[in-house]
Chains A and B, each alone.
Chain A
Amino acid sequence: MIKARIIVTLKTGVLDPQGKAIEAALGNLGIDGVGQVRQGKVFDVELAGEDAASAKTKLDAMCGQLLANTVIENYAVEIDHG
């Protein structure tokens, strides 16, 4: 069994109104020194088998076809996370 973590983030230049709202809320909490906040998503995926190379291929396919919308998002794949 291979465990992978996929991190999906908004591309640079894509407006993130949710991140902006979080930024403002952090300010309301009185936490100072906060710069830009960008919100993303994390997926923990289990894959049958032990072959990291074939897992990477499958993980890239699932990111490109579903987990990330590559019009607005980037993704990074970490295998055997934690």
Chain B
Amino acid sequence: MKTAVVLLPGLNRDRDMIAALTTITGKAPLTVWQTETALPDVDLVVVPGGFSFGDYLRAGAIAARSPVMRAVAEAAAKGVPVLGVCNGFQILCEAGLLPGALMRNAALRFVCREVKLEVTNARTRFSTAYRQGQIIRCPVAHHDGNYFADEATLKGLQDNDRIVFRYAEGTNPNGAINDIAGIVNAAGNVLGMMPHPENLIEPEHGGTDGRGIFESALGASQSVAA
């Protein structure tokens, strides 16, 4: 079970992601620096959270045009599972791998707290470990998590069951349209989400609700490989 984590200047959740992937797979992920033009052959690529390039221009905008993201787009086109968390989600949107944009939080405040997520599609390769409609806990920590897309895009996401997670029970922390917390691409192999599942995978974290995303993604790759 091989994984890779993309490294960009200004990310700060890369260590947490590396620790989570190491715990779950039993093996440290490979790391890929922003200037790399190819990715190693892995079962899951993760773009972690932080503030790549200081959020200059727009969150994720500069990172999305870095050489490594071209390589991530090529891997995604070949069907490799790609997970973007927080800044990673912003980068995937800016890179055009996912539709929509993440804008400044509606209350203009950085939010760092736990939210509840409803698993609105438990059939994606990132969510099979959960039950349809299950409510899970997950921390968020961001300033630009206010998901926006035009009506046609939203309808497409809705009609094709591409909204994987929604903020549940009035916990929407950022004003995201339709409470959207995480979406997949049309092929279903690229997931972007604002909350941080890597921070809720061990009992010492206070819960293990985030594990299912990694276990789903890696379990799916395993069965594809076999």
Which residues of A are in contact with B by a Cβ distance under 8 Å?
A: 14-15, 17-18, 21, 65-67, 69, 71-72
Contact = CB atoms under 8 A, between A and B. Distances in A.
Interface of B: 57-58, 61, 65, 93-94, 99-101, 103-108, 146, 148-150, 175
A11 B22 CA distance: 43
B57 A15 contact: no
4 smallest A-B Cβ distances: which pairs? A71-B101, A72-B101, A17-B108, A17-B106
Contacts of B105: 17
B108 A66 contact: no
A65 B96 CA distance: 10
A71 B100 contact: yes
Contacts of A65: 65
A65 B108 CA distance: 27
A72 B103 contact: yes
B131 to A, nearest CB: 32
A69 B61 contact: yes
Query: Which secondary structure dominates where chain B touches chain A?
Result: loop
Given A66-B65, A69-B61, A18 B101 contact: no
A18 B61 contact: no
Q: Which of B94, B99, B104, B175 is packed against the most chain A CB atoms within 10 Å?
A: B104
A44 to B, nearest CB: 15
A17 B106 CA distance: 6
Contact of B108 (A14, A21, A67, A71): A21
B57 A66 contact: yes
A69 B85 CA distance: 20
25 contacts: A15-B103, A15-B106, A15-B146, A15-B148, A17-B103, A17-B104, A17-B105, A17-B106, A17-B108, A21-B108, A65-B65, A66-B57, A66-B61, A66-B65, A67-B57, A69-B61, A69-B94, A71-B93, A71-B99, A71-B101, A71-B149, A71-B150, A72-B101, A72-B103, A72-B148
B58 A69 contact: yes
Q: Which of A65, A66, A67, A69 is packed against the most chain B CB atoms within 10 Å?
A: A69
Contacts of B146: 15, 17
Contacts of B57: 66-67
B106 A14 contact: no
A17 B175 CA distance: 10
B156 to A, nearest CB: 13
A72 B107 CA distance: 18
